[in-house]
Structure formats: C-alpha cells, structure tokens
Structure 1
Amino acid sequence: MTHVEIEPNILYFGTPVVLVSTVGDTPNLAPISSAFWLGWRAIIGIGARSQTARNLRRTRECVLNLPSVREVDAVDRLARTTGAAEVPESKLRRGYRYEADKFGVAGLTAVPSSTVAPLRVAECPVAMEAVVEAIHPVAADDEAQLGGILCFELRVQKVHVHDEIRMPGTTDRIDPDRWRPLIMSFQEFYGLGGKLRRSELARIPEILYRSPDVDRAKTGVRPGQPEPHTGNGTTRRR
C-alpha cells in the first residue's frame, strides 16, 4: 500500500464520548471526545472559553460520564449547545446556542455524586467522580493559539458502573464483552461496529476546526523562528 499526503482539518480518529458534568450557575453537562486515561488519571481537552473550562477552573471538580451506544440520541441533543450565556464567537459560527438546563435538553436523569458537587448521569453505564490536579495549556508555543485550548489532568476519586457491565464474579473489573462505548470518529457516532446515526456535529464543516498547526507543518518553522530562505537571499520571520 502507498501513503498519500493529505491535510485533514481535524484528527479525530476515534475516541470515546464523555459527558462532563460540572457546576456553574446551573448544573452543566457537556459532550467531549478529547479524553484518555492512565491509571486513575484522566486527561481531557476543552476550549478555554467554554463554560465547562470555567467551571473546572473555579470548582476543580467534575464527573466523567461515559455513555453507551444506547445514549447516542441524548448525546446528540446536547450537540451545539453551551452553558455559557455569552456564546463565544467561535461557537456562534458553528451554530451553538445557550441552554441553561442541559440535563433537561438531553432528557437525562441527574443523580447526586458521593465525593464531588457535580451530578452524575443515571443513564450512563460509567460515571467517574474526579478532581482537577493540574491544568496544561495546549499550543502555548504559538501566539495565535495560546489560551485557546486547555488540557485538564483529573484524578478519579470514585467509579460508579451499571452492574450489567461488571464482569461476573468480580468487584473490580469491567466486562469488555458487555461494555459498548459510544465512539466519535471524525464527527460521526459509532459503536464497536458500523455508524449508529447521523451526528448533529457532522453538519459543521471540518474546515472550521482547522488548526494553525496544519500550515506550520508545511514549513517546519516554530513561531518566532526564522523561516526558510525565500530564494532571493532573504528570510522571513513570523
């Protein structure tokens, strides 16, 4: 097989969907798909101007609710909604609207957590209560992107699961044959099989997510560093 060079506007090759619940003026619930886990630590990436990021920075608590394929419609009802009363310009361009009652819009049930203030989603087979241990800026080397995206390092304190996905005869294992996570791949919803349904987010043109790093990759030049020679004996600087 031969590789060909392309410039994808997004690089979402497939990650589990997470419904992040936080507390602001009202309970907030936001779907994300930039997340991974190492041990009992989770790393999630969120737009710095989102209501979820504001809540996390202020309260330093959240619940990571993992929906299964059965909750795909509820998750999609949250698409293009924000808990920020003043919708950021970048989200306005993508068709977002303000919603105060995220649980109500999604048709999901809020239940109390054990160790944090944010609520859990009863319908999600997995709910992990977590606290913020560190906040890492993304693309801090590029003035054009600085402050736009944050990675939150979260420490999980409590894990709740539906008994139906627990491995029989154990108290500390998930049965992968029973767990069917909801996956987002290039803005579309998948399970561990074919596409589940058309995603509302897929209506947003991928070009609106294009990162300045795509163009930087063409030159290999870091911001503030000399660019390659132009051919006339001069160089340019960013």
Structure 2
Amino acid sequence: MHIKSEPPILYLGTPVVLVSTVNEDGSYNLAPMSSAFWLGWRCLLGLTAFSKTTQNMIRTGECVLNLPSVNEVAAVNRLALTTGSDPVPEFKLRKGYRHEADKFGLAGLTPMASETVAPPRVRECPVQLEARVTSSHGVGEDNPLQRGFVLCIETRIQRVHAETSIMMSGEENRIDPDKWRPLIMSFQQFYGLGPRLQDSTLGTIPEDMYRSPDMELARIRIAE
C-alpha cells in the first residue's frame, strides 16, 4: 500500500563527496556534499550558487572530488555546519552554519598535491577524482522563488586515483565493489552498505528547513 507523501527533501541515498577547491588567497576549501551523480567520466554536482565551493569552482574552473569510505565518517561529520564563506550567508546562518577557514585541519584530513589541477586531493579518501568544470546550469529556473539559488555544475574527470586496497585483484582499471565501501548519505544520515554508522550533526537541521518552492508548484500543477 502506498500513501501520498510530501517529504521536504528527497535525498534517497547518494555517495558523500568531499569537494576540494582553492580560495582567492590560495588557501584550500573542503566541503562535504551528496547531490552528485556520474555519467561515464562526467560528474554533475548540485550546489547552492552562493557557497564558497561553488564560487571557487566557477572562478577557477577546477576541483577534486574526493570520495570517503565508511572509515572517514567522523572526519566528514566534523565538517558539517561549516562554510568557507565569510560572512556566512543568511540562509546558512539560519541553519546553524559557522565560518571555518581551515577545513582540512578541522576535519583532521591531509591535503596532497594533485597532478592536473591546483586543488589538493584528500590523502585519506580511497577515491580521488581530479576534475575541470565544463558548464553550469540553473536549477529551478522556472520558479521565481528559487531562480538563481541552485546550480547543477557539470565536471569532466581527468584523473582518477584509487587506493590499491579497493582494486580488483590483478586489475589496474577496475574498482572491486565488494571491497569499496562508500560513505552514503540518506535523508541527512550516514550509512554504509548496512546500518547507520553514527548520528549526523547535519541531521540536527529540521527537514522542513529544506522545503522547496517546487512542492507548492507541484500542487498547483496537479490542480490544473
């Protein structure tokens, strides 16, 4: 039996990505996100237009997409509710975010040099994808209440670094899904391929604060 439902968010489970970028002063920013999916060697990222990560990516045209495993859950959680933006945007202040300049230090993670881009890789992440920004597209542009707020950023992967421990035996170009245990976020909580790993700091934000204007627009269109 199904019921009609209107969840404020539809984050049904996607891998966590730590996006590393370079700030204007040459320092590094590191931000966790999970609105990402891959098509071949392209990755599309859904990010707010006003985040420091977005601004850095648009300005420099490059980033590194670092994929943590379940072993890095505590480090990822330490980055929750922090932003590289100073001052903190109002919409993030309302959710409890604070400015943090040293994201790597806060998380206890180690930057390491990339081969093709300026942003660093995260040494502790088993998968590191060096990428260049190819385009960006507005999300929700049909709704004046959210126009210009969210971008879908398309990136092109140009170098893949994978920890040997997750590779198939005797294979240089195949990651073994039986060994790779990505960190998953589902409805603001951390999971692996199994039970929840720990409570998420991000999960302290009420889901209603993520309510989208598209929900009301959907009701109007159904009524029509």
Give TM class, smaller chain.
over 0.9
Partner in structure 2 of residue 4 of structure 1:
3
Q: Which has the larger radius of gyration?
A: 1
One-letter identity of the residue aligned with 2:112: V
One-letter identity of the residue aligned with 1:5: K
Matched residues in 2 for 1:140 and 1:212: separation? 11
Matched residues in 2 for 1:80 and 1:129: separation? 25
Matched residues in 2 for 1:219 and 1:138: separation? 19
One-letter identity of the residue aligned with 2:183: L
Q: TM-score, normalised by structure 1?
A: 0.92
Q: CA RMSD in A?
A: 0.9
| 2:169 paired with 1:168 | yes
| 2:212 paired with 1:211 | yes
Partner in structure 1 of residue 28 of structure 2:
27
Matched residues in 1 for 2:194 and 2:22: separation? 34
One-letter identity of the residue aligned with 2:170: G
Q: TM-score, normalised by structure 2?
A: 0.98
How many pairs are equivalent? 222
Between 1:134-143 and 1:122-131, the stretch displaced more is 134-143
| 2:77 paired with 1:76 | yes
Matched residues in 1 for 2:28 and 2:66: separation? 14
Segments of 5+ residues of structure 2 without an aligned counterpart are: none
Matched residues in 2 for 1:99 and 1:40: separation? 31
Matched residues in 1 for 2:107 and 2:190: separation? 16
Segments of 5+ residues of structure 1 without an aligned counterpart are: 222-226, 229-238
Partner in structure 1 of residue 116 of structure 2:
115
Partner in structure 2 of residue 231 of structure 1:
none
Matched residues in 1 for 2:101 and 2:37: separation? 28
Deviation string for 1:70-106 (max 9, x for gaps)? Answer: 0000000000000001111110011000000000000
Equivalent runs, 1:12-23 vs 2, <5 Å? 12-23=11-22
One-letter identity of the residue aligned with 1:216: L
Matched residues in 1 for 2:169 and 2:119: separation? 30
One-letter identity of the residue aligned with 2:3: V
Partner in structure 2 of residue 135 of structure 1:
136
Partner in structure 2 of residue 85 of structure 1:
86
Greater than 2 Å deviation, 4+ residue runs: none
Matched residues in 2 for 1:37 and 1:6: separation? 28
Q: Which has the higher contact order (CA 8 A, sep 6+)?
A: 2
Q: Tell me how far 1:62 sits from its aligned partner.
A: 0.2
Matched residues in 1 for 2:182 and 2:82: separation? 22
Partner in structure 1 of residue 178 of structure 2:
177
One-letter identity of the residue aligned with 2:21: T
Matched residues in 2 for 1:135 and 1:7: separation? 28
Equivalent runs, 1:36-115 vs 2, <5 Å? 36-115=37-116
Matched residues in 1 for 2:190 and 2:145: separation? 31
One-letter identity of the residue aligned with 1:3: H
Partner in structure 2 of residue 224 of structure 1:
none
Deviation string for 1:40-67 (max 9, x for gaps)? Answer: 0000000000000100110010000000
